[in-house]
Amino acid sequence: MTNFSSHSDNNNDTEKSGNDNGLDEALNKAIANRMRPSKPNGIKTSLTFAWRALLKIKYVPEQLMDATVFPIMFLLMFTYLFGGAIAGSTADYLQFLLPGILVQTIVTITMYTGIELNNDITKGIFDRFRTLPIWRPSVLVGALLVDTVRYSLAAFIMIGLGLVLGFRPDGGLLGVLLAMVLLLIFAFSLSWIWTTLGLIMRTEKSLMGVSMMVMFPLTFISNVFVDPETLPTWLQGFVEVNPISLVVTGVRGSMHGIVTLEEIVWVLLSSAIILGIFAPLTMYLYRNKK
């Protein structure tokens, strides 16, 4: 009787072992046996988020109005409404105004980087991105790369319209390209201010209000529209140290072939200071956002 019981137990163990082996084989077939993909690097993830931003433009093309329609309106209005009163002729004023309007347009639309980030936070997408096994800054870098495309589009439209109206850059193609490079560098650094505020502000409307409160006086109390020598003495000091004025001077000088090394250095230095302060601050807030 004992032998029969021991033999039965052995059969049960063998049968159980066979079932386990069959289960393991089924699991192995169900689970992919390929190697796990390597973790994407920062360049790939940044380009992926840049493509995401481009798709948003594709499906909502109205958001390009600030980079296309508004620059044209500003240039035409200021040239033909104030050109005769300020410079004596619209042709002369156009040579002075276009680089300034170009800078004003580009620096104004830099705020949309922060607005888009704020929208992602409000919708909850932001939290999902932070859980992904990716290089964290790629979410911001990708958006900023697409914004550079927006800036370039606005610049080409402005310069193209200016050429049609009679704008003639004495610096030639190289001067225009140098002006574009300086402006894009400054706009890229300025965008980090709005990403910082985008992480702090509760709504996009509050962010837009703060950005306009900052940019409106900076762009109008500068050398965008008039020569600082025509301003009161007490105001000239502010205009001369205004970062917008420094960029306008560099862009205007590059386009007309009279830029100096000092003017270029001031643009690069101001951009580096802004980037050095707000890029680390943005990343700190990004990592610790609750």
> To 5 degrees, how large is the angle CA 43–CA 44–CA 49?
100
Contact 84, 90 (CB under 8 A): yes
What integer pLDDT is reported at residue 25 of this predicted model? 66
- Identify the residue with better confidence: 98 or 140: 98
What integer pLDDT is reported at residue 4 of this predicted model? 46
Residue with tokens 């800078």: 103
Taking the CB of residue 227, how many other CB atoms lie within 10 A of it?
11
Q: In whole angstroms, what is the distance from residue 242 CA to residue 160 CA?
A: 28
Phi, psi of 140, deg, nearest 5: -80, -40
Most confident of the following: 19-23, 46-50, 188-192: 188-192
Percent with pLDDT over 90 in the chain: 19
- Identify the residue with better confidence: 219 or 59: 219
Contact 188, 148 (CB under 8 A): yes
Ramachandran area for residue 240 (φ above 0: left; ψ -120 to 50: alpha; else beta)? alpha
DSSP conformation class of 40:
P
Q: Where are the domains of the chain?
A: 1-34, 41-288
The pLDDT tens digits of the residues spanning 89-115 come to: 888 888 998 999 899 888 888 888 788
DSSP conformation class of 229:
G
What integer pLDDT is reported at residue 233 of this predicted model? 84
